Each structure stands twice: as C-alpha cells, then as structure tokens.
Amino acid sequence: MAGTLKVGTGVIDITPPIGVSLAGGLRARKSTGIQTNLYAKATVFDNGETAICLIAVDLCVLGRDYVDKATALIEERTGIPPENVMVTASHTHAGPYTSPVFGKEEDRDQEYLAILSRYIADSAAIAQQNLVAAQVGSASGKEETSSHYRRVKLKAGHVRNTWMKLDPDEVVGPVGEIDPELGVMLTRDMEGNAVSVIFNYTLHANCHDDRALIDGSYPSRVAKIVEGEIGGMTSYTPGACGNINPVGKPDPIARALSDEILRVIPKIETTSDVALRAKKVSVELPLRDFSRCRTEAIRRDWPEGEDVFTEEWQKLHEAGDTSVETSVQVLAINDTAFAATPGELFVEIGREIKERSPFERTYVVELANDYVGYVPTRVAFEEGGYEVLDARSSKVGPEAGEIVRDRCVKLLHEVAGDG
C-alpha cells in the first residue's frame, strides 16, 4: 500500500581498536593504525503502513548470529520486524575478524564482537528517531573502468585468479564479464535537501593503500565525496561481486564512482507517494562432500596456501554437515527492489536475478543477513580456481547458486504481486 513517506538515517562508528586482527586474507594480520573509520549506516523508510530498514556495515562479513541479535533488538526498540530489516557487509578486507574463517578463534576480538550487534541496532534506532517527510527515487548509471573479471583461462585449460603469479603469454583471457551497473537510490526532504544516497555496485572492496591499516576501502571514500558534495548520508550495498575485483587503488575508484553517482542524481525523479514491501524466507543450501581433502586442487590453484586450505578442509570434514540453512530477502520501494543474498555471489547469478526480476530496477545485494561463503556458478566448479577450493568460506555445492537465483526470482515476483 502506498503512503506518504518519511525517511531517517542513523550512523554509528564501529571502528575497532588498533591492534585487532584484520580479515580478508588467508592469514590474519595485526592492524597498526586507522586509514578510515568504519560505520554502521541505517536508512529507515516509513509510509505510515509499513516500515523497512536497510543497514550497511563496514565489515568483511557478518554471520547470521550477529544479524539475528541485531534485528531482534531493532524490533524491540523500533517495532520494525526482522523480515523488514536488511543488514549487509561491505566486504572491506581491512576490517576486524567477525568470522573464524581463514583465522583462529584468538584472532577475533571478543570484547568488540560482544557489543557489535548493539551498535548495529543503535544505527536503526537513531534512523527512526530522525524520520522526516521525504521523497525517494532511483536510477542507474554505469562505471566500466573500476572493475575486472578476476578469473582467467590459461592455454593449459585451467582457470586461475588474476592476483596469482601468471605468465601473460599463457593467459587466454577472462571467462566472464563484469556488471557495470551503478544503482543509485536518493531520498530528499520536502525542501529538496539530500537525506540519503544508497549506491549498489558489483565490485569487491578489497583495495587498500596499506594492508596494515583499518580501512573501509573505496565505499568509505565514495561516501565522503558524495556527502561532501550534496550532504545527507551515503551508504553502500555490494552487488554480486564474488568474482569481480578492483582495478587499481581505492581513491581513483572512489572518484570514478562518485562522479557517476553525482551525474545520475540530477536525473532521479522522486516521489513521496511510496509503496514499501518486504519479505524474507529461509533457504537450505546443500554442502559439498568433504570426505577427502582435494590436495591436488590446492597445489594447482593456490600452493602457497596448502596449510591453510588443508586445515579448512579438516574443520569441514569433522563438522560433518551436509547443508546450511540461510535466507534470501527482498525489500521493495516502489519500482526498485533490493534482493538480499547471503554469500559472495558470482556476477553471473546476480545478472540472471536482475534479468528475471519483474521490477524496473533490481539491485542484488550479496553478504546480506548471513555469510555462507562463495556461491559460484555450476561451471566454476568444473573450471577450478580459488573460489571453489574447499574452505569454510567456500563450502556450498554446485547447485547452490541456482537455488539462490531461483528463490530470489520467485520472491521478487511474490513481492511484486504476480507470484
């Protein structure tokens, strides 16, 4: 049901103390300083009938336990039910360990993690307190220079990742394409002042100036630029970028993305007559067979990490799990939908969800509400490469991507009213 819109934003600093272990690599590394602060940024939309909340956090990943605790607190404090709240991680590779994947339990700062869900809930509570009459609209631009498809085929027939030590003469080329769409959702107050910008882009946030510094990567820099130009709060939702990497350093990428966002914003038509819809459903994803360690694949695809991947396999083997229960979700604001998925989704799956969606604009959001690791395409398992090596960060079976895709598409149609 459409109604007059109110929008509020809330920002909480979630920067951990210097010295915490940083995620985003095969091995933990201790932070020695802060490049940019990390934040939880919440946007609440309320049309008088329905309220939804989208929260973007500057973290590598965020497991379901933290999200469930945060959304329960949000419901208690704001009345917004958990199924109407989306929490997504930016996937910065220079934030604190929130998962033991590729690390040890002692790499996680327990004092920090004990209060993290409360910080996330605080951002939503503040956003609700800041509700003002507003208008919303969205549009998409394009940025093609900042990303590349990171899986390439070699003449020998294998697929490798572009950060590996590859002989250029042996590289045939990438086995897929990027998604250059840059989605922009803008809200303004009734005087025309910017309240919030939410941008969606399909690119790993794993570029940093110094790997020893706490850093939000390019999304933090985009926010600073856009907020400096038009005011309000800018937050980021990652597209299906499991196999998409940056080209170059964070500052030039941020400048390119900011320029495109600022070019798109004047073209956005906003309205205060807004229909808000939300739905979240459980999904069970099958895991692989971990009865034996695929040592030959490790030695072929990332030999320097044999000790790490062997340990990861051992943990999966000992756990004995055959499936993982997670969720997919849709938040819809008029003709724009955010489709939330729980892992590092391959770009091909994200593009298929967009193509099959009934909404005018669909922004796929990975790493939302949970973390199940990489969700590759079925063909990627045949090609090989880092993303399909057995680890707690890569454990779902070859059919998982199709399950996520199909359930997201079905949910999009249900939310649109034609499912």
Averaged over successive runs of 10 residues, the pLDDT of the chain (419 residues) comes to: 85 97 90 97 97 98 97 98 98 93 81 97 98 98 98 93 90 97 98 98 95 96 98 98 97 98 98 97 98 94 91 95 98 98 98 98 98 97 95 97 98 90
Name which of 114, 133, 123 is nearest 53 in CA terms: 123
* CA–CA dist 204, 202 (Å, integer): 7
Question: What integer pLDDT is reported at residue 2 of this predicted model?
Answer: 63
pLDDT of 147: 98
Q: Would you say residue 171 lies in a domain?
A: yes
Residue 97 lies in a domain: yes
> How high is the pLDDT of residue 418?
78
Is residue 292 included in any domain, yes or no?
no
Side chain identity, residue 11: V
Quote the pLDDT of residue 419: 57
Q: Is residue 232 part of a domain?
A: yes
At 229 the pLDDT is: 98
Q: What is the dihedral of CA 242, 243, 247, 250, to 10 degrees?
A: 10
* R_g (Cα) of the chain, nearest Å: 20
Tell me, yes or no, whether 314 lies in a domain: no
- Residue 309 in any domain: the answer is no
- Domain that includes residue 92, residue range: 2-286+321-416
Residue of 254, 291, 277, 250 whose CA lies nearest to 336: 277
Answer whether residue 312 is part of any domain. Answer: no
Only one residue has tokens 């509400």, namely 369
Number of domains in the chain: 1
Adjacent-strand bridge partners of 96: 22
Q: The whole model's pTM is what?
A: 0.97
Q: What is the pLDDT of residue 3?
A: 67
Do the domain assignments include residue 160? yes
